[in-house]
A and B are shown apart, each in its own frame.
Chain A
């Protein structure tokens, strides 16, 4: 290198450029990881195809006979996709970023912490858009006929993302990376079964139902089903549950998250 190559010319890039670059990198890291893809794309797609084709769980279809099981399943699978990215995927990835000192190293770069968190959120949203596009195509091919207001759907998904991100970051910022990996997968599995994703809530005893109904996954799958299946307006009960989780989760994460 010629003389003067390293002559100091310090300065941060514009924050918008930093966030854009960080979002692109975070998204690439998510999409490059095989286990993450299994969780966020392959499992939801497989469940959708499998349970639409085979009557493993009898789905309570509406009178009249025009409804297919995909009409019940698709909203639940979309809720699952949101959970897999915003909660499970984000918790695991962030847990390992913390463990490998990535969060620490970026903490000494010009990128402010709030910008890093914004970029992480944006990369979750980008991934969700890709997931939803893919799952919608599959569901439509299986004969899905969605109803309702797309804006209500978007509002539910954004609230659900906020709720799950808060819980995922809380886990990643407080537990060890290995513990996060195990716990996030376990929670994913439990919520998959108990959150009205593929197993209708009516299958559980009434007392259990009222507890399960307060889970973020139940609120999201129920809310999406109200809109997409029955064409209802914004289901305020589910919105309230998701909002409460979002406030609790993000608040606790902001307080307890440890960067190293």
Chain B
């Protein structure tokens, strides 16, 4: 296997009329890795993924998927990728297993349909028509359809949206197994824990650009500040504490007796806070250091307000 990336996007721009959905996006996806694309509603995740799938023609920039142009070389690319759309994609009157069996017939070396049905709990859908399946059952069918052809690369647009905890775990296990077997996975999600659990690489997209990327650990370490929390007597004078702490550190009393210090939390800072407590005769009844979660990083980068 070569070391060429599975997906390479350079300066992608995609407009819908006057609206710019993707605005100069760059992304590289390593082979046999899991990449999670995170971002607020309307950030351009689906647009980006659908450009990779060959549905949309870029207005500017280049997209290469498995080394191919997804529009010009669609016929060569399609058999090699698996696609899970954000919704729909199945005949309203079709039964789950019937549709999956049909998709399997379109490929040269499909997976064993019965095993996949069992694996994703689709057997219980029986003779029910697709339009009457529950949202979670529809999602699981779409996931099965994406992998049944034994693709080299799968694009999963919000694969766990609307799933119950068991189905979500089953999906995670499947994604991990895909990766272990050498399949490249690109997925979009709104669940930070999902990205933290599954992804080798996370790309945070906002307003059509990648505003941060890296492994979940890198993202949580870099950029974001950490927090130290302690409890003591109410109404302590924080002014003297701030004087002892390095510049750029903040301290606040969140509720009576609960204090938060934000900044570059390191052993030195911890020692400073502890000695300040000793000077003021404060016995912290609890003291904790909180590492920022991906969710904090995400909110910090994309802002807390709701997007239009």
Contact = CB atoms under 8 A, between A and B. Distances in A.
B182 A7 contact: yes
B90 A110 contact: no
B55 to A, nearest CB: 7
A29 interface: yes
A62 interface: no
B183 A6 contact: yes
A3 B107 contact: no
A17 interface: yes
A11 interface: yes
Interface residues of B, number: 43
B181 A10 contact: no
- Looking at chain A's contact residues, the main secondary structure is loop
Contacts of A5: 111, 115, 177, 181
A105 B106 contact: no
B19 to A, nearest CB: 17
Interface residues of A, number: 35
Interface in B140-195: 145, 147, 149-152, 177-178, 180-183
B178 A101 contact: no
B242 interface: no
A11 B109 contact: yes
Contacts of A100: 88-92, 130-131
Contact of B106 (A7, A32, A33, A109): A109
Contacts of A108: 53-55, 78, 81, 83
B221 interface: no
Interface in A22-53: 22, 25, 28-29, 32-33
Nearest to A101: B88
Interface of A: 1, 3-13, 17-18, 21-22, 25, 28-29, 32-33, 96-97, 100-102, 104-105, 107-112, 260
9 contacts: A1-B119, A3-B180, A5-B177, A8-B151, A9-B150, A104-B85, A104-B89, A110-B79, A110-B106
Nearest 10 pairs of A and B residues by beta carbon: A101-B88, A105-B89, A11-B108, A6-B181, A9-B109, A21-B105, A108-B83, A12-B79, A110-B79, A10-B80
